[in-house]
Protein backbone atom coordinates (compact mmCIF):
# COMPACT_ATOMS: atom_id res chain seq x y z
CA UNK A 1 0.00 0.00 0.00
CA UNK A 2 1.27 3.45 -0.93
CA UNK A 3 1.48 6.31 1.57
CA UNK A 4 0.46 9.14 -0.76
CA UNK A 5 0.51 11.85 1.92
CA UNK A 6 4.24 11.38 2.57
CA UNK A 7 4.98 12.22 -1.08
CA UNK A 8 5.89 15.67 -2.30
CA UNK A 9 4.17 17.08 -5.37
CA UNK A 10 6.93 15.89 -7.67
CA UNK A 11 6.69 12.28 -6.49
CA UNK A 12 2.93 12.42 -6.69
CA UNK A 13 3.16 13.67 -10.26
CA UNK A 14 5.28 10.69 -11.32
CA UNK A 15 2.91 8.40 -9.42
CA UNK A 16 -0.09 9.67 -11.40
CA UNK A 17 1.87 9.76 -14.64
CA UNK A 18 2.62 6.06 -14.15
CA UNK A 19 -1.12 5.45 -13.76
CA UNK A 20 -1.69 7.17 -17.10
CA UNK A 21 -3.44 10.12 -15.44
CA UNK A 22 -3.12 13.76 -16.47
CA UNK A 23 -0.59 15.89 -14.60
CA UNK A 24 -3.16 17.97 -12.71
CA UNK A 25 -4.35 14.91 -10.72
CA UNK A 26 -1.30 15.15 -8.48
CA UNK A 27 -2.15 18.66 -7.38
CA UNK A 28 -5.80 17.78 -6.81
CA UNK A 29 -4.96 14.84 -4.57
CA UNK A 30 -2.18 16.76 -2.80
CA UNK A 31 -4.64 19.52 -1.93
CA UNK A 32 -7.28 17.08 -0.69
CA UNK A 33 -4.79 15.31 1.55
CA UNK A 34 -3.40 18.54 2.93
CA UNK A 35 -6.89 19.72 3.77
CA UNK A 36 -7.43 16.60 5.84
CA UNK A 37 -9.40 14.29 3.56
CA UNK A 38 -9.53 10.83 5.15
CA UNK A 39 -10.92 8.85 2.21
CA UNK A 40 -10.69 8.87 -1.57
CA UNK A 41 -14.50 8.96 -1.85
CA UNK A 42 -14.39 12.56 -0.61
CA UNK A 43 -12.26 13.59 -3.59
CA UNK A 44 -15.24 14.43 -5.75
CA UNK A 45 -13.26 16.05 -8.54
CA UNK A 46 -11.59 12.70 -9.36
CA UNK A 47 -13.28 10.17 -11.64
CA UNK A 48 -15.00 7.42 -9.68
CA UNK A 49 -12.84 4.70 -11.29
CA UNK A 50 -9.67 6.47 -10.15
CA UNK A 51 -11.01 6.89 -6.62
CA UNK A 52 -11.68 3.16 -6.49
CA UNK A 53 -8.27 2.34 -7.91
CA UNK A 54 -6.56 4.57 -5.31
CA UNK A 55 -8.64 3.06 -2.52
CA UNK A 56 -7.25 -0.35 -3.41
CA UNK A 57 -3.58 0.58 -3.70
CA UNK A 58 -3.08 3.53 -1.33
CA UNK A 59 -3.85 4.44 2.26
CA UNK A 60 -4.48 7.78 3.95
CA UNK A 61 -3.08 8.26 7.44
CA UNK A 62 -5.40 9.86 9.99
CA UNK A 63 -4.70 9.63 13.70
CA UNK A 64 -7.56 9.06 16.13
CA UNK A 65 -7.90 11.15 19.28
CA UNK A 66 -7.08 8.73 22.08
CA UNK A 67 -7.14 11.40 24.78
CA UNK A 68 -7.53 15.13 24.75
CA UNK A 69 -6.83 17.39 27.71
CA UNK A 70 -7.60 21.08 27.81
CA UNK A 71 -5.88 23.26 30.38
CA UNK A 72 -8.33 25.26 32.45
CA UNK A 73 -5.50 27.73 33.18
CA UNK A 74 -4.41 28.81 29.71
CA UNK A 75 -6.30 26.87 27.04
CA UNK A 76 -3.33 24.66 26.15
CA UNK A 77 -4.61 21.47 24.51
CA UNK A 78 -2.77 18.20 24.66
CA UNK A 79 -3.60 15.43 22.24
CA UNK A 80 -2.69 11.80 22.61
CA UNK A 81 -3.11 10.39 19.12
CA UNK A 82 -3.43 6.75 18.21
CA UNK A 83 -1.65 6.01 14.95
CA UNK A 84 -2.68 3.45 12.33
CA UNK A 85 -0.51 0.72 13.87
CA UNK A 86 -1.81 1.32 17.41
CA UNK A 87 1.17 3.34 18.69
CA UNK A 88 0.49 6.60 20.50
CA UNK A 89 2.17 10.00 20.22
CA UNK A 90 1.55 13.47 21.67
CA UNK A 91 0.96 16.91 20.23
CA UNK A 92 0.50 20.08 22.26
CA UNK A 93 -1.29 23.20 21.08
CA UNK A 94 -0.21 26.36 22.88
CA UNK A 95 -1.99 29.67 22.54
CA UNK A 96 0.45 32.55 22.45
CA UNK A 97 -0.16 36.20 21.61
CA UNK A 98 1.88 35.79 18.43
CA UNK A 99 -0.29 32.90 17.27
CA UNK A 100 -1.23 29.31 17.94
CA UNK A 101 1.77 27.01 18.15
CA UNK A 102 1.85 23.23 17.92
CA UNK A 103 4.58 21.16 19.49
CA UNK A 104 4.86 17.93 17.52
CA UNK A 105 6.55 14.55 17.93
CA UNK A 106 9.04 13.09 15.46
CA UNK A 107 9.34 9.51 16.76
CA UNK A 108 7.36 7.02 18.85
CA UNK A 109 9.52 7.18 21.98
CA UNK A 110 13.15 8.30 21.93
CA UNK A 111 16.55 6.64 22.20
CA UNK A 112 18.55 9.62 23.46
CA UNK A 113 18.16 8.71 27.14
CA UNK A 114 18.09 12.19 28.74
CA UNK A 115 17.71 11.72 32.47
CA UNK A 116 15.08 14.43 33.04
CA UNK A 117 12.79 13.55 30.13
CA UNK A 118 9.70 11.34 30.18
CA UNK A 119 9.78 10.62 26.43
CA UNK A 120 12.80 8.40 26.54
CA UNK A 121 11.81 6.11 29.43
CA UNK A 122 10.58 3.28 27.19
CA UNK A 123 13.20 3.81 24.46
CA UNK A 124 12.45 4.36 20.80
CA UNK A 125 9.71 2.25 19.22
CA UNK A 126 9.92 3.59 15.67
CA UNK A 127 10.35 6.68 13.52
CA UNK A 128 7.29 8.60 12.40
CA UNK A 129 6.57 9.02 8.68
CA UNK A 130 6.33 12.46 7.03
CA UNK A 131 2.54 12.03 6.83
CA UNK A 132 2.32 11.23 10.54
CA UNK A 133 4.25 14.40 11.35
CA UNK A 134 2.08 16.50 9.05
CA UNK A 135 -1.09 14.94 10.47
CA UNK A 136 -0.27 16.33 13.91
CA UNK A 137 -0.43 19.87 12.56
CA UNK A 138 -3.35 19.21 10.25
CA UNK A 139 -5.64 17.31 12.60
CA UNK A 140 -4.83 19.51 15.59
CA UNK A 141 -6.02 22.47 13.52
CA UNK A 142 -9.12 20.63 12.32
CA UNK A 143 -10.06 19.21 15.72
CA UNK A 144 -9.51 22.45 17.65
CA UNK A 145 -10.77 24.81 14.92
CA UNK A 146 -7.81 27.02 15.82
CA UNK A 147 -5.61 28.19 12.95
CA UNK A 148 -2.02 27.15 13.49
CA UNK A 149 0.72 29.59 12.60
CA UNK A 150 3.80 28.19 14.33
CA UNK A 151 5.37 24.77 14.76
CA UNK A 152 8.00 23.56 17.17
CA UNK A 153 9.61 20.15 16.72
CA UNK A 154 10.02 19.66 20.43
CA UNK A 155 7.68 16.81 21.25
CA UNK A 156 8.55 13.13 21.64
CA UNK A 157 11.65 11.99 19.76
CA UNK A 158 14.88 13.43 18.39
CA UNK A 159 14.10 15.12 15.05
CA UNK A 160 17.66 14.87 13.74
CA UNK A 161 17.61 11.11 14.46
CA UNK A 162 14.80 10.95 11.85
CA UNK A 163 16.51 13.40 9.52
CA UNK A 164 15.17 12.63 6.04
CA UNK A 165 11.61 12.35 7.33
CA UNK A 166 11.86 15.68 9.09
CA UNK A 167 13.17 17.36 5.93
CA UNK A 168 10.28 15.94 3.95
CA UNK A 169 7.82 17.06 6.63
CA UNK A 170 9.22 20.60 6.46
CA UNK A 171 8.83 20.60 2.69
CA UNK A 172 5.23 19.38 2.97
CA UNK A 173 4.03 21.74 5.68
CA UNK A 174 5.76 24.65 3.92
CA UNK A 175 4.10 23.89 0.58
CA UNK A 176 1.91 26.66 -0.94
CA UNK A 177 -0.54 23.92 -2.02
CA UNK A 178 -0.65 22.60 1.52
CA UNK A 179 -0.63 24.29 4.93
CA UNK A 180 1.85 26.89 3.70
CA UNK A 181 3.50 27.49 7.07
CA UNK A 182 6.63 29.59 6.61
CA UNK A 183 10.03 28.26 7.68
CA UNK A 184 10.49 31.31 9.89
CA UNK A 185 7.54 30.07 11.90
CA UNK A 186 9.15 26.69 12.56
CA UNK A 187 11.64 25.71 15.27
CA UNK A 188 13.56 22.47 15.38
CA UNK A 189 14.96 21.30 18.69
CA UNK A 190 17.84 18.83 18.98
CA UNK A 191 19.88 17.30 21.77
CA UNK A 192 22.95 18.14 19.65
CA UNK A 193 23.73 15.53 16.97
CA UNK A 194 26.58 17.45 15.37
CA UNK A 195 26.92 15.63 12.03
CA UNK A 196 23.23 16.27 11.41
CA UNK A 197 23.46 19.91 12.49
CA UNK A 198 26.25 20.34 9.93
CA UNK A 199 24.08 18.70 7.26
CA UNK A 200 21.18 20.96 8.18
CA UNK A 201 23.43 24.04 7.99
CA UNK A 202 24.19 23.26 4.34
CA UNK A 203 20.50 23.57 3.52
CA UNK A 204 20.35 27.11 4.92
CA UNK A 205 16.74 26.80 5.98
CA UNK A 206 15.09 29.83 7.53
CA UNK A 207 13.89 27.84 10.54
CA UNK A 208 15.10 28.41 14.10
CA UNK A 209 17.46 25.81 15.48
CA UNK A 210 17.12 25.13 19.20
CA UNK A 211 19.84 23.18 20.91
CA UNK A 212 18.90 21.42 24.13
CA UNK A 213 22.03 22.24 26.08
CA UNK A 214 21.07 21.84 29.73
CA UNK A 215 24.70 22.08 30.90
CA UNK A 216 27.84 23.83 29.59
CA UNK A 217 30.38 21.35 31.03
CA UNK A 218 31.02 17.76 29.98
CA UNK A 219 30.77 16.21 33.41
CA UNK A 220 27.25 17.48 34.01
CA UNK A 221 26.03 17.25 30.42
CA UNK A 222 27.23 13.68 29.94
CA UNK A 223 25.62 12.68 33.22
CA UNK A 224 22.18 13.95 32.23
CA UNK A 225 22.41 13.59 28.43
CA UNK A 226 24.11 10.37 27.32
CA UNK A 227 24.33 11.65 23.72
CA UNK A 228 26.96 14.12 24.94
CA UNK A 229 29.46 11.37 25.77
CA UNK A 230 30.43 10.84 22.14
CA UNK A 231 30.29 14.52 21.18
CA UNK A 232 31.47 16.68 24.05
CA UNK A 233 30.54 20.27 24.69
CA UNK A 234 33.60 21.76 22.95
CA UNK A 235 32.68 20.13 19.64
CA UNK A 236 29.03 21.00 20.14
CA UNK A 237 29.77 24.69 20.74
CA UNK A 238 32.11 24.70 17.72
CA UNK A 239 29.37 23.11 15.60
CA UNK A 240 26.88 25.74 16.74
CA UNK A 241 29.31 28.50 15.80
CA UNK A 242 29.67 26.96 12.33
CA UNK A 243 25.88 26.77 12.00
CA UNK A 244 25.55 30.46 12.80
CA UNK A 245 28.35 31.40 10.39
CA UNK A 246 26.89 29.34 7.54
CA UNK A 247 23.23 30.22 7.96
CA UNK A 248 23.29 33.61 9.68
CA UNK A 249 20.55 32.24 11.93
CA UNK A 250 20.93 32.68 15.67
CA UNK A 251 20.64 29.56 17.74
CA UNK A 252 18.39 29.31 20.73
CA UNK A 253 19.66 27.19 23.62
CA UNK A 254 17.26 25.31 25.87
CA UNK A 255 18.32 25.01 29.46
CA UNK A 256 16.13 23.21 31.99
CA UNK A 257 17.24 24.43 35.39
CA UNK A 258 17.65 21.49 37.75
CA UNK A 259 18.20 21.97 41.45
CA UNK A 260 21.88 21.55 42.41
CA UNK A 261 22.80 19.96 39.05
CA UNK A 262 23.22 22.68 36.45
CA UNK A 263 22.17 25.88 38.24
CA UNK A 264 25.52 26.88 39.82
CA UNK A 265 27.10 30.29 39.25
CA UNK A 266 30.17 28.79 37.61
CA UNK A 267 27.95 27.07 35.06
CA UNK A 268 26.25 30.35 34.18
CA UNK A 269 29.71 31.90 33.78
CA UNK A 270 30.96 29.07 31.57
CA UNK A 271 27.82 29.23 29.47
CA UNK A 272 28.17 32.98 29.05
CA UNK A 273 31.80 32.58 27.99
CA UNK A 274 30.81 30.12 25.23
CA UNK A 275 27.83 32.09 23.94
CA UNK A 276 29.10 35.63 24.13
CA UNK A 277 29.25 37.18 20.67
CA UNK A 278 27.48 34.28 18.98
CA UNK A 279 24.05 35.92 19.06
CA UNK A 280 22.84 32.82 20.88
CA UNK A 281 19.83 33.20 23.11
CA UNK A 282 19.19 31.13 26.22
CA UNK A 283 15.74 29.82 26.98
CA UNK A 284 15.63 28.93 30.66
CA UNK A 285 13.02 26.28 31.38
CA UNK A 286 11.56 25.69 34.81
CA UNK A 287 11.72 21.93 35.09
CA UNK A 288 8.56 19.83 35.11
CA UNK A 289 9.16 17.09 37.68
CA UNK A 290 8.99 13.59 36.17
CA UNK A 291 7.98 10.97 38.71
CA UNK A 292 10.69 8.46 37.78
CA UNK A 293 13.47 11.05 37.89
CA UNK A 294 15.37 12.16 41.01
CA UNK A 295 15.67 15.74 39.71
CA UNK A 296 13.80 18.69 41.14
CA UNK A 297 13.21 22.20 39.76
CA UNK A 298 15.90 24.76 40.52
CA UNK A 299 15.20 27.53 43.00
CA UNK A 300 17.74 29.84 41.32
CA UNK A 301 16.05 30.67 38.03
CA UNK A 302 16.21 34.45 38.44
CA UNK A 303 19.80 34.47 39.73
CA UNK A 304 20.92 32.30 36.82
CA UNK A 305 19.16 34.52 34.32
CA UNK A 306 20.60 37.73 35.82
CA UNK A 307 24.09 36.29 35.82
CA UNK A 308 23.87 35.47 32.10
CA UNK A 309 22.38 38.84 31.24
CA UNK A 310 25.08 40.70 33.19
CA UNK A 311 27.64 38.96 31.01
CA UNK A 312 25.95 40.01 27.78
CA UNK A 313 23.95 36.87 27.00
CA UNK A 314 20.22 37.29 26.53
CA UNK A 315 18.15 34.82 28.53
CA UNK A 316 14.42 34.47 28.95
CA UNK A 317 12.48 32.26 31.30
CA UNK A 318 9.95 30.16 29.46
CA UNK A 319 6.40 30.74 30.55
CA UNK A 320 4.92 27.55 31.84
CA UNK A 321 1.80 26.45 29.98
CA UNK A 322 -0.47 23.51 30.58
CA UNK A 323 0.95 22.68 34.00
CA UNK A 324 -2.35 21.07 34.96
CA UNK A 325 -2.47 18.64 32.01
CA UNK A 326 0.88 16.79 31.95
CA UNK A 327 1.86 18.99 29.03
CA UNK A 328 5.59 18.40 29.21
CA UNK A 329 7.25 16.15 26.68
CA UNK A 330 6.16 12.55 26.81
CA UNK A 331 4.25 12.74 30.07
CA UNK A 332 0.83 11.85 28.73
CA UNK A 333 2.04 8.91 26.65
CA UNK A 334 3.98 7.76 29.71
CA UNK A 335 0.89 7.98 31.88
CA UNK A 336 -1.07 5.92 29.40
CA UNK A 337 1.70 3.29 29.26
CA UNK A 338 1.86 3.07 33.04
CA UNK A 339 -1.85 2.71 33.39
CA UNK A 340 -1.39 -0.46 31.37
CA UNK A 341 -3.77 0.53 28.63
CA UNK A 342 -2.72 -1.16 25.45
CA UNK A 343 -0.76 1.15 23.19
CA UNK A 344 -0.35 -1.63 20.64
CA UNK A 345 -3.83 -2.62 19.64
CA UNK A 346 -3.50 -5.53 17.21
CA UNK A 347 -7.07 -5.01 16.05
CA UNK A 348 -6.53 -1.37 15.17
CA UNK A 349 -6.51 -0.82 11.45
CA UNK A 350 -5.76 2.51 9.77
CA UNK A 351 -7.70 5.23 11.55
CA UNK A 352 -9.53 6.12 8.35
CA UNK A 353 -11.19 2.71 8.45
CA UNK A 354 -12.49 3.48 11.88
CA UNK A 355 -14.23 6.66 10.97
CA UNK A 356 -11.19 8.94 10.81
CA UNK A 357 -10.80 11.75 13.25
CA UNK A 358 -13.13 12.28 16.12
- The set of catalytic residues is 90, 329
Between 215 and 285, CB nearer to ligand SAH: 285
Between 54 and 112, CB nearer to ligand SAH: 112
Between 28 and 165, CB nearer to ligand SAH: 165
How far apart are the C-alpha atoms of 194 and 136, rounded to whole Å?
Answer: 27
To ligand SAH, the closest distance from the beta carbon of 119 in angstroms equals 7
- Binding region for ligand SAH (CB under 6 A): 112, 116-117, 154, 158, 189-191, 212, 254, 256, 285, 287-288, 290, 328-329
What DSSP string runs through 192-259?
A: --HHHHHHHHHHT-SSEEEEE---SSHHHHHHH-TTHHHH-HHHHHHHHHHHHHHH-PPPEEEEEEBT
Q: Contact 293/36 with Cβ under 8 angstroms?
A: no
To ligand SAH, the closest distance from the beta carbon of 241 in angstroms equals 19
Q: Which residues contact 59 (CB under 8 A, 6 or more apart)?
A: 1, 2, 3, 4, 84, 350, 352
To ligand SAH, the closest distance from the beta carbon of 281 in angstroms equals 14
To ligand SAH, the closest distance from the beta carbon of 161 in angstroms equals 8
To ligand SAH, the closest distance from the beta carbon of 231 in angstroms equals 13
Q: Which residues contact 101 (CB under 8 A, 6 or more apart)?
A: 93, 94, 95, 148, 149, 150, 151, 152
Sign, Cα dihedral of 142, 334, 220, 161: negative
Torsion angle of C-alpha atoms 152, 157, 163, 167, degrees rounded to 10: -30
The helix/strand/coil state of 66 is: strand
To ligand SAH, the closest distance from the beta carbon of 297 in angstroms equals 8
Q: Contact 237/276 with Cβ under 8 angstroms?
A: no
Between 61 and 212, CB nearer to ligand SAH: 212
Closest CA to 64 of 279, 285, 358, 301: 358
Between 6 and 288, CB nearer to ligand SAH: 288
The helix/strand/coil state of 268 is: helix
Between 14 and 316, CB nearer to ligand SAH: 316
CB atoms within 10 A of CB 150: 19
Closest CA to 229 of 241, 237, 239, 219: 219
Amino acid sequence: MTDLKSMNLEEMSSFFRALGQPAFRAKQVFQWLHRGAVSFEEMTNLPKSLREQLGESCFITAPAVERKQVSAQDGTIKYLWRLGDGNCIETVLMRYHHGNTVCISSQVGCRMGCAFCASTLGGKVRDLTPAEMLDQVLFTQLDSSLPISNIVLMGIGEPLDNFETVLRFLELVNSPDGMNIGMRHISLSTCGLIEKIDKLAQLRLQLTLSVSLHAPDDETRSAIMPSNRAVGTERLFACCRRYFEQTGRRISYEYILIDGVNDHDWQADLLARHLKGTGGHVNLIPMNPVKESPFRPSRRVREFQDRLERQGVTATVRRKLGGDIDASCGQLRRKQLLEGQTLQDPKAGPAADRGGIR
